[in-house]
Amino acid sequence: MNTQADSSISTGTRLRDAIENEIVSGALLPGTRLDETVLAERYGVSRTPIREALMQLANSGLVEIRPRRGAIVAEVGLDRLVEMFEVMGELEGMAGRLAARRITAADIAALDEALEACRHAAAATDHDGYYYENERFHFALYNASHNGFLIEQCMAMNRRLKPYRRLQLRVRNRLGTSLAEHEGIVAALKAQDTDAAERLARGHVVIQGERFSDLIATIGKVGFAAA
């Protein structure tokens, strides 16, 4: 992760990323109890940032907070995961279409800045750095739609899919492909080509064909349910 991104990331968020990696890599299987004291000792922190990290993971659906049992690793079905990506694709496509119609000079500047940061991270093969700059790019796209309700829905679904979008970036050649897709989206937005912006933004998110196979292979050891 690059230093610039590091300085703006809270301890809780870093811990979330570390625990998130353990879950999606299969080191922590579904049903595993996440004891705050044990995790605090493992990471050398107090229980407060651990609690913050677990709450963030609960918001993304990776962790369940249960009465009297505390936090446990959630079980996510593959069918459910694909459905969420389908919805995210439609939301991003809508954001792309509206942004192409409503984009301002300030929106373009924000997208260009995020795109350049993505280029630097991709060139350095910095998966974590790209993950955060990619998130910034998508937030800039949502904001360019100038539809408050849509922005809220995109942000909420983005939070749910954070771990899996992050995991996708570790698939072979995905950084370069993702960057090229970003460049295509920005070109369509600048040209105010609504159809292309919608199609490219949707396709950038939806997992199908080879991308679906790659994602399934990557998470195959994590213990996901078939449905």
- pLDDT given for residue 3 in this prediction: 37
The percentage of the chain sitting over the pLDDT mark of 90, rounded to a whole number, equals 46
- pLDDT given for residue 223 in this prediction: 44
Q: Please indicate, yes or no, whether the overall pTM of this predicted structure exceeds 0.85.
A: no
β-sheet bridge partners, residue 65 = 71
Q: How far apart are the first and last CA of the chain?
A: 34
The closest alpha carbon to 218, from 166, 182, 155, 176, belongs to 166
For residues 33 and 56, give the distance between their C-alpha atoms in angstroms, rounded to a whole number: 16
Homologous superfamily of the 78-218 domain (CATH)? GntR ligand-binding domain-like (1.20.120.530)
Domain boundaries, the chain: 3-73, 78-218
| Range 3-73 has CATH code 1.10.10.10 | yes
For residues 153 and 156, give the distance between their C-alpha atoms in angstroms, rounded to a whole number: 5
pLDDT in tens, 68-84: 778 998 877 777 778 88
Residues 6+ apart with CB under 8 A from 14: none
DSSP symbol at 207: -
β-sheet bridge partners, residue 71 = 34, 65
Lowest mean pLDDT among 103-107, 177-181, 187-191: 177-181
- The H or E element that residue 33 is part of is strand 33-34
